[in-house]
Homo-oligomer: A and B are copies of this chain.
Amino acid sequence: MAPEDIKAKIESANATAVQRVLASKPHLVDVKPAIEVLPGMNKRSIFHAGPPIKWGSMCGPMKGAVVANIIFEGWASSWDGAVKLVEEGEVELSPNHDHEAVGPMAGVISPSLPVVVVKNEKFGNVNYGRVVEQKVQFGAFDEEAIQSLQFWKKVLAPALAKALGRLRSSGSIGIDLKSIMARALYMGDELHNRPSAGTALFALSILPSLIESGEDKERLSQIVKYFSGNEIFFLCLAMAACKATMNAAKDVEYSTLVTVMARNGVDFGIKVSGLGNQWFTGPAGMVKGLYFPGYGTQDANPDMGDSAITETTGVGAFALANSPAILSLVGGTAQDAFNYTKQMREITTTLNDTFLVPILDFEGTATGIDIRKVVKTGILPVIDTAIAHKDPGIGMIGAGIVNPPMEAFKSALRAFASKYKV
């Protein structure tokens, strides 16, 4: 094929892929134990964030999170017991993204952990998200950490499932997450590190059904207080909504659009629409940001989590100009936030038609990362993220800004050239 023909074919494929991104309509439809819904999960599976990685190569906080979930499942009761089980090959480790799912930070999902079920009402694909909490996902595995998973499993998830069941039985297609996300972007959220408005709007959306489903008043009051006190909650819904959005843009032949960016704390991996399920990786970067008192860069684990699916979809740090309040958490100035949001236009395919930036006179966020543009301009996607301590059992120590490794984009582009004989 002549170079101009191949270029036209790529442009057309990217237009198709990004149009599917824009047209997606992710709705929260259910909350179910992972084992019941995640494709390929068996009763001794543990899925994790980022590209594939063996136990021996995992970073400290991801090991801690795997151990926490083993204790949560009751397969072992201590670090040593859990590690023994894994080392004996009794636990199957596999990336969330290879099973239609996403999880924050370590992102670890075990069979009995309930996941949010998000259906893309436009294209029919269904994807799954792990709850966000402040302990296990950062590598803590003590009693208190396990309790945060128990609250989700025993209190919040069943209540949400009941409320969503009530909505379904009244003919509803669930909670419209895209609408909440669009509104939250007008309310100071960038939907990755700051989903505060999303949490409040989601709470008010689900509460009538939760109330009508007959939840008792102590439980109801506890749940409302949970939403008030855990502003990060909506991140798991935003992530699952973004996953359901980007999966609709998968497998468009000739498309150079990035459909996944994810990190396991050691490697950063991407997937590309026209390149099937293959991961292209490079080393996960160190996050530049602000640390909690008593911690510093020497304590930090490299970049980790599936949460960069938000940036892949055009929110997160791509919408940082909407969320200047987050700068007190991740560092930087308001001007930096503008600059990031504008600079991302140079490596993307279009401006979003739903996710808008009022302070940029209502222009859309940059959407649809194109591996060609990243390699050509040398501009890397920007991601805002939390920082985990590098050792298991400690937790979150800060937050900041990070980039993927250029290597992942270059090797994807080489694979593209080889597959399509460019």
**A interface majority secondary structure:** helix
CA distance A220 to B360 in the complex (A): 39
Given contacts A211-B224, A334-B359, contact A201 B200 (CB under 8 A): yes
Q: How far is the CB of A261 from chain B (nearest CB, A)?
A: 26
CB of A79 within 8 Å of the partner chain: no
Copies in the complex: 2
Given contacts A334-B361, A361-B334, contact A228 B204 (CB under 8 A): yes
In the complex, chain A residues 188-216 whose Cβ is within 8 Å of any chain B Cβ: 188-189, 196-197, 200-201, 203-205, 207-208, 211-212, 214
CB of A26 within 8 Å of the partner chain: no
Contact with B along A31-53 (1 / 0, CB 8 A): 00000000000000000000000
CA distance A189 to B203 in the complex (A): 19
Given contacts A186-B188, A188-B188, contact A324 B212 (CB under 8 A): no
Using CB atoms, name the residue of chain B closest to A189. Answer: B187
- Is A208's CB under 8 angstroms from B221's CB? yes
- Is B188's CB under 8 angstroms from A208's CB? no
**Interchain CB contact (< 8 A) of A200 among B204, B325, B359:** B204
**Interchain CB contact (< 8 A) of A214 among B196, B217, B224:** B217
**Interchain CB contact (< 8 A) of A359 among B197, B201, B214, B359:** B359
- Is B207's CB under 8 angstroms from A328's CB? no
- Is A358's CB under 8 angstroms from B327's CB? yes
Q: For A16, what are the chain B residues with a Cβ–Cβ distance below 8 Å?
A: none
CB of A54 within 8 Å of the partner chain: no
Q: For A328, what are the chain B residues with a Cβ–Cβ distance below 8 Å?
A: 358, 362
Q: For A217, what are the chain B residues with a Cβ–Cβ distance below 8 Å?
A: 211-212, 214
CB of A55 within 8 Å of the partner chain: no
Q: How far is the CB of A230 from chain B (nearest CB, A)?
A: 11
CB of A123 within 8 Å of the partner chain: no
Q: For A204, what are the chain B residues with a Cβ–Cβ distance below 8 Å?
A: 200, 203-204, 224, 227-228
- Is B197's CB under 8 angstroms from A324's CB? no
- Is B225's CB under 8 angstroms from A208's CB? yes
Q: For A221, what are the chain B residues with a Cβ–Cβ distance below 8 Å?
A: 207-208, 211-212
- The chain A residues found within 8 Å of chain B, CB to CB, are 186-189, 196-197, 200-201, 203-205, 207-208, 211-212, 214, 217-218, 220-221, 224-225, 227-228, 324-325, 327-328, 333-334, 337, 358-362
Which 7 residue pairs across A and B have the least CB separation, nearest first? A324-B358, A200-B200, A186-B325, A187-B188, A208-B221, A324-B359, A325-B358
